[in-house]
Chain A
Amino acid sequence: MPAPIRLRELIRTIRTARTQAEEREMIQKECAAIRSSFREEDNTYRCRNVAKLLYMHMLGYPAHFGQLECLKLIASQKFTDKRIGYLGAMLLLDERQDVHLLMTNCIKNDLNHSTQFVQGLALCTLGCMGSSEMCRDLAGEVEKLLKTSNSYLRKKAALCAVHVIRKVPELMEMFLPATKNLLNEKNHGVLHTSVVLLTEMCERSPDMLAHFRKNEKLVPQLVRILKNLIMSGYSPEHDVSGISDPFLQVRILRLLRILGRNDDDSSEAMNDILAQVATNTETSKNVGNAILYETVLTIMDIKSESGLRVLAINILGRFLLNNDKNIRYVALTSLLKTVQTDHNAVQRHRSTIVDCLKDLDVSIKRRAMELSFALVNGNNVRGMMKELLYFLDSCEPEFKADCASGIFLAAEKYAPSKRWHIDTIMRVLTTAGSYVRDDAVPNLIQLITNSVEMHAYTVQRLYKAILGDYSQQPLVQVAAWCIGEYGDLLVSGQCEEEEPIQVTEDEVLDILESVLISNMSTSVTRGYALTAIMKLSTRFTCTVNRIKKVVSIYGSSIDVELQQRAVEYNALFKKYDHMRSALLERMPVMEKMTTNGPTEIVQTNGETEPAPLETKPPPSGSQPASQANDLLDLLGGNDITPVIPTAPTSKPASAGGELLDLLGDINLTGAPAAAPPTASVPQISQPPFLLDGLSSQPLFNDITAGIPSITAYSKNGLKIEFTFERSNTNPSVTVITIQASNSTELDMTDFVFQAAVPKTFQLQLLSPSSSIVPAFNTGTITQVIKVLNPQKQQLRMRIKLTYNHKGSAMQDLAEVNNFPPQSWQ
């Protein structure tokens, strides 16, 4: 059998391969040769073969069949064999392989070898990849070597001990005695590794930390060593660009950080040396800056005096101006860590930080952006936002989402005016519209709704924004919603903040229809658009027929979501036209929502989170709400959530309180200015539309037909009829539609209908169609009541009617007892 080729020969050969296939062929051939050589148990060439195998392994080829051979090499007496064997073990054998434990004995023997280089190999291998079991077995040997006077071995033993502690923390104690005199060494290698060992112990165990602080007086020792390094003259052995052993200096500073943390005495003891290092270190090269960096980290983390902290921040400020971008990066990272605790000091460097937004390096830009957001406050918000908006415009796509979110947050906290806030949002939507997060849309809608005086301005700006480009979905969604809500302001040209534009109803519908048709619009966006079109049917006057047509077309859309909406809206036009204006009324000012959970379609009252009692005070014209709140208090806050009232209309103040007196223990919904169930809060992906509340209880389909209607009240020319609907799928809900008619010769105005039901029921009153019952039965007021009757008890109701008639205020109470059994059984 010819001698196996040499390693260099093999490398040369493989490098001549011109294709991957050619290389693979060579490798396979050589592997076969190596395999047979291994089988022959050839001691002479084992070393050479394993070396070749390691080379092929680095190229990416499998080499597991060499694992046992490595073990054999380690066990050999020859140093060359051991060297390659241990290297192979470190490359091919990790703790996941079963065979690695077979190394333990060899390592143990080699740790006690007569040649220090063999001992060194063993320590190195154990310290790099020793498993927990191996560490447990050999910790004693390592500890012994930690006490040797041979500095070559001592330094390796120290780092090996670090690895043992990392793998088996319980063994930390056994190394404690050996650490006693470690820092008395002159040898820098031992000093450095000892500091690393002490750092590891102090970081892992508070007891150790306390011990080293108090008993060993570690801090003065470290201070002394550091001082010597700085003060001593040129030492060629350890010099790096004029600085003596920067590696050791940095590790000492790091250990000082841990010792000084949360400890006044230790922090004081190191104050001077830190100031000295901070002021005397050469900053022209990376080396000096590395030490300054570590010093700054230490100063900021311990209980240093304020002068020292300011010094540290100023160092970081100087770093920001350094030409070397690595230094700038490190400065931004450190400033980000300290901005919370030393806010004012960091603020002083704000302009430099903002300049870093224009840096070419992606990592620096990201840091600068994060830091900029942390620095925004009430005073600088205008200037900062200008910079950040400019940044949003020009930054890479991976930043845009975070930047947009950050801007929204900052704007919300510090907006100097509503107009500015809206403008800022507009700017974000138009520059980064497609990167805005999903949850931003409902938040923005809420914000816009609550800025009542800005509605006209907002809708005009949004309209102009999507006129040119309706591809950015979040922008289009917000715009569609606003146009649906405030389209009337748009066409009537009511904008005060800027020049009102001339828009016709048809033009508005054009753009909404384009959104509907466009391929770029998502299903969600289309939903927004369709709903907006529907809402405009009550706000526009000339184009209702067009709207009807659009809505009916989408009744056969393949998109199920759109289809359902269109069908329901169609039904609104046809069967429930009397309710349409009430249902599509302007949205009320919303309560501040803290979370954005999906709307709970709660059957009891169609409203979501009962949040009306805290956060923002209810809007003006909300006496009903406050009285309803009183009711809630009186009732002990059971799960009747008062209906949130709409924007002020000319309805009389609620007499809810009085009702309570009269109705005793009967549950009550004082809902005179009964708002539609609009607190069906914006869901994440659907517009906050009234019908959502209703559509969950199928009103228009699946109805039990044939429940006889009743006359609930008839007196003084006022007649109130109840008609009933129930759903097969949800039999505990009864929907009552009341119709009030007036047979007298004069209208009844300011008509308010109120109702109360016994405790076991829950009731919800929706908005009436109007407040005037016309004379001579020429028209009716319709209103919908939903009753939840889970226990299927007999329906009873007390009603209260108030109205103005013939110049005087009328009021009456009555009880309705003639509910047909089919309406509640």
Chain B
Amino acid sequence: MQFMLLFSRQGKLRLQKWYVPLSDKEKKKITRELVQTVLARKPKMCSFLEWRDLKIVYKRYASLYFCCAIEDQDNELITLEIIHRYVELLDKYFGSVCELDIIFNFEKAYFILDEFLLGGEVQETSKKNVLKAIEQADLLQEC
């Protein structure tokens, strides 16, 4: 995976995880263009689109779009599962997660993501283990 973006129906960015080195300017440009492209898609369209030389996999959960950019050899269908797993993790952690949770606790959303993916690849396939790690790390927090 090259990057993952979460954004609202109004195009506001809620999370951005980049696994490739790009300048701030480039990131902004990509984000802007991709958000526009995805928001323009009609509801019945398929979850994949070709954009530049990447494959984009996106799925909408309530008011949030989860959007991943994968490479040619990556499996689009399993990427949908990856997105779904991340949503499940957030859901378990926050208890029926909604967009506001991610807005007000964005740093936690990042921490959870970083226990699930690393360098763009899945590091842990057990839901239980990811959540356990986050729980324990949270306990270490000093305040």
Please give, as numbers and ranges, the residues of chain B lying within 8 Å of A128 by CB-CB distance: 19, 114, 118-119
Chain A interface size range: 35 or more
Inter-chain contacts of B126 with A (CB < 8 A): 188-189, 237-238
Contact (A326, B118) CB under 8 Å given A11-B103, A290-B78, A290-B81: no
Q: A532 to chain B: closest CB distance in Å?
A: 43
Interface string of A217-253 (1 = CB under 8 A from B): 0000000000000000000011010000111101000
Are the CB atoms of A58 and B16 closer together than 8 Å?
yes
Given A117-B137, A294-B75, verify A127-B47 contact (CB < 8 Å).
no
* B91 CB–A CB distance under 8 Å: no
Distance in angstroms between the alpha carbons of A162 and B46 in the assembled complex:
31
A363 and B143 contacting across the interface, CB-CB below 8 Å: no
Chain B residue, CB-CB nearest to A253: B75
Query: Shortest CB–CB separation between residue B75 and chain A, in angstroms?
Result: 5
A79 to B111, CA, bound (A): 13
The smallest beta-carbon distance between B125 and chain A, in angstroms, is 5
Name the interface residues of B45-83: CB closer than 8 Å to any CB of A.
45-50, 73, 75-78, 80-82
- The interface residues of chain A lying within 8 Å CB-to-CB of B114 are 124, 128
Inter-chain contact B23/A96, CB cutoff 8 Å: yes
* Stretch of A153-161, A307-315, A379-387, A769-777 contacting B (4+ beta carbons < 8 Å): A153-161
How distant is the Cα of A250 from the Cα of B111 in the complex, in angstroms? Answer: 25
Distance A289 CA – B81 CA, assembled complex (angstroms): 11
Interface on A for B, CB 8 Å cutoff? 7-8, 11-12, 15, 51, 54-55, 58-60, 78-80, 83-84, 87, 91, 94-96, 115, 117, 120, 123-124, 127-129, 131, 152, 155-156, 159-160, 162-163, 188-189, 192-193, 196, 237-238, 240, 245-248, 250, 254, 286-287, 289-290, 293-294, 297, 325-330, 360-364
**Can you give 27 contacting A-B residue pairs, CB < 8 Å?**
A11-B104, A54-B107, A79-B137, A84-B107, A87-B107, A87-B111, A94-B22, A94-B23, A95-B21, A96-B21, A117-B140, A120-B133, A124-B114, A129-B18, A129-B21, A159-B121, A189-B129, A237-B126, A240-B81, A246-B78, A325-B46, A326-B48, A330-B77, A361-B45, A361-B46, A363-B49, A364-B46
Given contacts A95-B21, A127-B118, A128-B19, contact A329 B48 (CB under 8 A): yes
For the residues of B in contact with A, the DSSP-based class is mixed
**Nearest 7 interchain pairs by C-beta:** A290-B77, A325-B46, A189-B124, A127-B119, A159-B118, A290-B78, A79-B140
Tell me the minimal C-beta distance from A195 to chain B in angstroms.
Answer: 10
State the CA gap A95–B19 with chains docked (Å): 12
Contact with A along B105-143 (1 / 0, CB 8 A): 011001100100011011111111100010011001111
CB distance from A505 to the nearest CB of B (A): 53
Q: Whole-angstrom distance between the alpha carbons of A325 and B111 in the complex?
A: 33
A293 to B23, CA, bound (A): 35
Task: Tell me whether A361 and B44 are in contact (CB under 8 A).
Answer: yes
Query: Mostly helix, strand, loop or mixed at chain A's interface?
Result: helix
* Nearest-CB residue, chain B, relative to A96: B23
With both chains docked as a complex, state the minimum distance between the C-beta of A67 and any C-beta of chain B, in angstroms. Answer: 12
Q: A247 is contacted by which of B45, B78, B119 (Cβ under 8 Å)?
A: B78
B34 at the interface (CB under 8 A from A): no
User: Is B87 an interface residue when CB atoms closer than 8 A count as contact?
Assistant: no
Is A248 a contact partner of B45 (Cβ separation < 8 A)? no
A117-B81 contact, Cβ under 8 Å, with A8-B104, A84-B107, A156-B123: no
Question: CB distance A163 to B141 under 8 Å?
Answer: no
Note all chain A residues with C-beta closer than 8 A to B80. Answer: 286, 290, 326
Query: Which residues of A have CB within 8 Å of B110?
Result: 87
Contacts of A131 in B (CB 8 A): 21
Q: How far in angstroms is the closest Cβ of chain A from B25?
A: 11
- Contact partner of A192 (CB less than 8 A), chosen from B23, B81, B122, B128, is B122
Known: A12-B104, A329-B76, A330-B48. 4 other contacts (CB 8 A): A94-B18, A159-B123, A188-B126, A361-B45
Q: Is B28 an interface residue (CB 8 A)?
A: yes
Determine whether the beta carbon of A287 is less than 8 Å from that of B81: yes
Q: Which residue of B lies closest to A50 (CB)?
A: B107
Q: Please state if B48 and A363 are interface contacts (CB–CB under 8 Å).
A: yes
**CB pair A189 B118 closer than 8 Å:** no
Q: Are A237 and B104 in contact (CB under 8 A)?
A: no
Say yes or no: A124 contacts B118, CB within 8 Å. Answer: yes
Contact of B45 among A78, A117, A250, A362 (CB under 8 A): A362
> What's the nearest-Cβ distance from chain B to residue A361, in Å?
5
Query: Nearest-CB distance from A252 to chain B (Å)?
Result: 12
B123 touches A193 (CB 8 A): yes
- B-chain residues with CB within 8 Å of residue A360 when the two chains form the complex: 42, 44-45
Q: How distant is the Cα of A70 from the Cα of B82 in the complex, in angstroms?
A: 30
Min CB gap B118→A, angstroms: 4
B81 touches A286 (CB 8 A): yes
Closest to B132 in A: A152
Indicate with 1 or 0, residue by residue over B1-34, a CB within 8 angstroms of chain A CB atoms.
Answer: 0000000000001111011011100001000000
Chain A residues with CB under 8 Å of B77's CB are 286, 289-290, 293, 326-327, 330
The CA of A330 and the CA of B49, in the complex, are separated in Å by: 11
Q: How far is the CB of A70 from chain B (nearest CB, A)?
A: 13
Q: Within the assembled complex, what's the spacing in Å between the Cα atoms of A617 and B123?
A: 66
List the A side residues contacting B47 at CB < 8 Å: 326
Complex Cα spacing A498 to B50, Å = 46
Q: Which of A60, A84, A131 has the largest count of B CB atoms less than 10 A from its CB?
A: A60
Q: Is the CB of B141 within 8 A of A245?
A: no
Known: A8-B104, A290-B81, A363-B50. A159 touches B119 (CB 8 A): yes
Query: Are A58 and B46 within 8 A (Cβ)?
Result: no
Residue of B nearest to A237 (CB): B126
Instruction: Tell me the complex Cα distance, A378–B107, Å.
Output: 61
Which residues of B are found within 8 Å of A115, using beta-carbon distances? 140
Q: Specify the chain B residue showing the minimal Cβ separation from A188.
A: B125
Q: Is the CB of A189 within 8 A of B123?
A: yes
**Complex Cα spacing A540 to B76, Å:** 64
CB distance from A764 to the nearest CB of B (A): 51
Q: Which of A15, A240, A245 has the most C-beta atoms of chain B within 10 angstroms of its own C-beta? A: A240
Chain A residues in 8 Å Cβ range of B16: 58, 91
B69 to chain A minimum Cβ distance, whole angstroms, is 15
On whether the beta carbons of A329 and B107 are closer than 8 Å, the reply is no
Docked complex Cα distance between A8 and B106 (Å) = 10
B75 touches A293 (CB 8 A): yes
Task: Name the A residues within 8 Å of B137 (CB-CB).
Answer: 79, 83, 117, 120
Cα separation A326 to B84 with both chains bound (whole Å): 15
B88, chain A: closest CB distance, angstroms:
10
Chain A nearest CB from B115 CB (Å) reads: 8
A286 to B125, CA, bound (A): 17
Contacts known (A54-B107, A79-B142, A95-B21); A152 close to B78, Cβ less than 8 A: no
Residue from the set A54, A127, A131, A327 with the largest chain B CB neighbour count within 10 Å? A127
Give A250 to B76 CA distance when docked, in angstroms.
Answer: 11
Inter-chain CA distance A214–B133, complex, in Å, is 38
Cross-chain contact of B76 among A7, A254, A330 (Cβ < 8 A): A330
* A339 and B41 alpha carbons, distance in the complex (Å): 29
- Give chain A residues whose Cβ lies under 8 Å from the Cβ of B46: 325-326, 328-329, 361, 363-364
| Contact (A80, B141) CB under 8 Å given A156-B123, A159-B123, A361-B45 | yes
Given A60-B28, A127-B118, A361-B46, verify A250-B78 contact (CB < 8 Å).
yes
Q: Please report the C-alpha to C-alpha distance between residue A78 and residue B143 in the assembled complex, in whole angstroms.
A: 10
> Which residues of B are found within 8 Å of A192, using beta-carbon distances?
122-125
Q: CA of A131 to CA of B28 in the docked complex: distance in angstroms?
A: 21
Query: By the criterion CB–CB under 8 Å, are B123 and A155 in contact?
Result: yes
- Within the complex, the shortest CB–CB distance from A403 to chain B, in Å, comes to 17
A55 contacts B106, C-beta separation under 8 Å = yes
Chain B positions within 8 Å of A96 at CB level: 21, 23
Contact B128 A237 (CB under 8 A): yes
